[in-house]
């Protein structure tokens, strides 16, 4: 049986800022530093930050867990926002997005 690897618990899953057209505003996205998330075109795929706890790979050859999976993923699902949040660069101000 193939194992499911939760990307959020992998050291290669990182949070990055993705800037809006207004270069002072950004949202958080997650990406795989090993480029395991790719579109058909070969372009790197980035996922919304609040969906990372659902991102799973089956038998990922680069999976490198950061710790016990169950308590971490359970807590992550409980603590992550349910929608995108817009931030302003240079400030810790949450602007909110509907």
> pLDDT digit string (tens) for 14-29?
999 999 887 889 999 9
Task: Flag whether pLDDT at 45 surpasses 80.
Answer: yes
Query: Of the candidates 11, 15, 16, which has an alpha carbon nearest to the alpha carbon of residue 67?
Result: 11
Q: Please state the φ and ψ torsions of residue 47, each to the nearest 5 degrees.
A: -110, 155
Kindly state whether residue 98 falls inside one of the protein's structural domains: no
Provide the domain count of the chain. 1
Mean pLDDT along residues 31-46: 92
The two tokens of residue 43 are 């372009």
Model confidence at 98, pLDDT cuts 50, 70, 90, reads very low
Give the per-residue pLDDT at 91: 62
Strand 13-19 relative to strand 25-32: parallel, antiparallel, unpaired?
Answer: antiparallel
Quote the CA–CA distance of 54 and 19 in Å, as a whole number.
23
| Structural domain contains residue 96 | no
Asked if 10 contacts 60 with a C-beta cutoff of 8 angstroms, the reply is yes
Residue 13, CA distances (Å) to 18, 62, 91, 98 in order: 15, 11, 25, 26
Residue 93 has pLDDT above 80, yes or no: no
Convert the pLDDT of each residue in 66-89 to its tens digit: 989 889 999 999 999 889 898 888
Range of the domain at 30: 4-88
| Mean pLDDT value across the chain | 87
Domain membership flag for residue 93? no
């Amino acid at each position: 049986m193939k194992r499911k690897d939760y990307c959020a618990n992998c050291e290669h899953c990182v949070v990055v800022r993705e800037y809006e057209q207004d270069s002072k505003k950004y949202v958080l996205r997650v990406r795989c530093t090993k480029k395991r998330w790719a579109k058909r075109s070969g372009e790197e795929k980035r996922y919304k930050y609040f969906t990372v706890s659902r991102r799973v790979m089956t038998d990922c050859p680069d999976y490198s867990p950061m710790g016990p999976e169950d308590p971490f993923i359970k807590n992550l699902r409980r603590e992550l926002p349910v929608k995108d949040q817009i931030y302003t660069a240079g400030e810790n101000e949450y602007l909110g997005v509907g």
